[in-house]
Structure formats: C-alpha cells, structure tokens
A = this chain, B = another copy of it.
Amino acid sequence: MGARGGGAQSKGGKQSTNPPRGMRDFLPDQVRLRRRIIDVIRSVYEAHGFEPIETPALETLSVLLGKYGDEGDQLLFKVLKRGDKLAKALAAPHVDPAAVADLGLRYDLTVPLARVVAAHRMPLPFKRYQIQPVWRADRPARGRYREFYQCDVDIVGAPAPLPEVELLSAACQALERLGFDDFTVQLNHRGLLFGLLEQAGVPAARRTDAVVVLDKMDKIGKDAVRAELIERGVEAADALLGMLSFDDEGNEVVLAELAGHCRGNEQAESGLAEIEQILDLSGEQTSRRLSVAPCLARGLSYYTGAIFEISSPQLGVSLAGGGRYDGLIGMFMGEQQPACGLSLGLERIVDIFEQRTETRTPAVDVLVTCWDRDGVGTSLRVAEQLRATGLKVDFYCEPVKMGRQLKYASRRGIPAAVILGPDEVASGRATVKDLSNFEQQQVDLDALAATVTAITANIGADATS
C-alpha cells in the first residue's frame, strides 16, 4: 500500500519527512510490483486496439469545475496564481477564493480525454487508454488515497452497445490476466433507472436524490435504503423497491420482471434493450460475469447510458467502474459525441497483490565488491564486462569491510558476489560467492559471467518451483 503519509509535522524543528497526507512514497519493491501490474493491463488494452495518451497533471481550473458535481468541485486541489496576478487577487478588500487559483490537479482521466478529443480534433472513433495518477482532496482512509492511479479505456465516437461490449471484454481480460477469478460485473442503465423512477411515481425533483440512496443498496441493505428514501421525501419508496430489488434471481428472471415494470415507458424500455444487447453480444468469458443490477447508480453526474461496476464480493472491493457519457465531449467540442469508458482502480489491485505472499525475483544478479583503492580499476572493468553479457550488476562504491558489502548484497537479495582482492587480481581470477549458501569458488575472469549466471539460474529455479 505504499509508505503512507502521516501528515504530522515533526516536533523538534527538524524538517518533516512525511509525504503529504493521504499520499505515498513507493519504495523499490512497490514500484516493481506496480509496474508489473500496469504492464499487464497495458498489454491487454493494446491487444484490444486501444492507443495511449497522456495529459498534464494540471488543467485550467475552468476545464475541471462543474464536471464532477458540487462534491467533486470541493475535492479539487487548486493551484495558486503566480506573480502579479496573485498579488492583485490578494490585494482585494475581500479575497475571493475563486480568484486566487487558476489551475487544478487532474481529478479523473475522462474530462482530460474529452478536452484532448476536442483540442486535437482526434479522428473518430478514437479508442484510447490512459494510465496516470489523479488527485482528490478526499478524507484519507484505508484504501483511499489523495493521489492514486487510474487505468482508463474509452471509446469516443461510437454509439451503444458495441463499445460497452469491447470495454467490458478488455477489463475482464485484464483482471483475469492479473490472476483474479472471482469477480462480477454489475450492469445497469441510467435510462432504465430514471424511467423506472418515473414508473414508480417518484416526482422528477426527487429522482436524483433517490438515485444517490439506491446506490447504497450493497452497502447498507434494503431496509436502510427504504428508510433513507422516505426520509428524503421519496414517498414511493415501497413501489420503487418492489421494482428494483432482487435477491440473486439470475439475469433472466430479473430481465423478465424489469420488462414488465418498464412497459409503456420509452426511456426505460430502450435502456433495458441495451442491457439485453450487451448481455447477448458479450463473449462467454465476459457474459458469465455479468449481473443485471437495477440499483446500481454510479455517483458521477455525467453518465447517460449503460453503467457498470466490477467488484470482487469475496474480497469486498470494487475493482473498476464506468459507463456511457454521451454529453461530456460535447461540452468541449460544441457538438455531441457518443462516448463510453471504464476505469480500473490500480490501487485496489496493488493492495490485493501486496497481501499475496510471492517469491521476490532479485532485481540485481550480482554485486561486484570493492576491495581497496588500488584494485578498484579492475573491479570496475569486471563490472562493465559482466553488464555487457546482459547481467544486472551492482558495484559497491566504497572500499569498506567485505562483511559490510556482503551484508548489503544479502539485504538487497542479490544472489551472488564477486570479490577481487590483490591475489585474485594478480592471478587474473575472481572469487565468486553464492550468497544463498555462502559457498565460494575461484574462477578465471573469462568464466565469471557463466558462473554468476549459473548461480542466478538456481535462484530462478527455486523461485518457480
């Protein structure tokens, strides 16, 4: 989970060394793990024909504001104006918080995509992926960070339902490649949801409120949802829950019942039809995971069609979410463009991987030690020669006691060490130490790479056996 930021200032006046609250330093093993996971996701996305883009960490504040609802606006990290503009803003008799900042840190990867499609007039359809951090000034909690990575895939410029099918296929395959087996794709549709609210008699002014409450079904249960609906003035709570809540009846039963409730409501019927198409068109690998979830709502206000959430009930976490947002691109382009996307949450996946115990592959094959200043030239040459054979070679940069150098190698999990003392240098040989059992042998410099490779290969064999 990374080295967590405590946020506390240190007491004694010494410079605080914590990362900011809710943000993390990643040490070498963590960086390697994160990169391994990202490489898998990326390769699956690329196998599906998605292309990478990257956008700046900062966006003009006006690009971000108003896209994520009021709560989202509150969670933006805003960047102070600079120079004269800042001085001017601060000199006002009553300083307007909106006047002192001009940039904001990226809040998600969807709004930047919409901006890029418009700015660069990307030829459509555009299938892009983007794997970058985002920042939210949220209250930090277990598994919730203020800087975290998203792995997004989106298809801009194509209507439902085929993009939905492709996106779900890519996401499921990425999770499978990462070794996840037990996960479910909850599938719903905003049109179905709002149509059924209408059918149940929930007045238009109460529908957004009702959706927010319904979205908590998985977390707080049916009774609590019912109570909160009534508390929020949704008098039709019982009618609504009668339509929407099911107990694992299976998609066929759910679809049949929903079809009955939708009858005569065009919005609901066409939403339901899209869900059915997505189920029909998905390949076996994906469709066996799809579960129609009429209460799923997804917080973000920009969704307009199908919405989905991938979660692992066994692990109790959400792994991905997304949906169709046909209005957002138009806010930047001046013309409507259909779009659908999905975001894999890297941090959850990393947290789960960190709980698995895995054999660590050594990051370095061999340490060339440093005997003394006289022989160091030879040691440096030997290190270079070993690197030229493709080995990863660390060189100890100071002639300290050999015990300390070997301890350093052990701590880093380096399997072998090469010692070049004056006797070795004189005879054109080197001592090689296998650090798994501390056995050592003298070998000719010509045979050094082969000897080290043999020791490293042994470690590799242990790790996979």
Contacts and interface: CB of A to CB of B under 8 A. Distances in A.
Interface residues of A, number: 101
Q: Would you call the interface of chain A mostly helix, strand, loop, or mixed?
A: mixed
A412 B20 CA distance: 42
A27 B130 CA distance: 11
A54 B346 CA distance: 15
A337 to B, nearest CB: 12
Given A125-B396, A133-B57, A363 B51 contact: yes
A387 B170 CA distance: 11
A265 interface: no
Contacts of A334: 14
A25 interface: yes
Contact of A392 (B47, B105, B159, B387): B47
A438 interface: no
B17 A283 contact: no
Given A14-B334, A125-B397, A166-B395, A56 B159 contact: no
A18 B162 contact: no
A370 B162 contact: yes
Nearest to A411: B123
B384 A169 contact: yes
A180 interface: no
Interface in A111-126: 112, 115-116, 118-120, 122-123, 125
B397 A163 contact: yes
A90 interface: yes
11 contacts: A14-B334, A16-B63, A19-B119, A20-B56, A23-B58, A28-B52, A47-B387, A47-B390, A48-B387, A57-B57, A127-B397
Given A51-B363, A86-B97, A90-B100, 13 more contacts: A17-B332, A20-B59, A23-B56, A25-B112, A27-B116, A47-B392, A49-B393, A49-B394, A123-B408, A125-B398, A127-B397, A162-B376, A162-B395
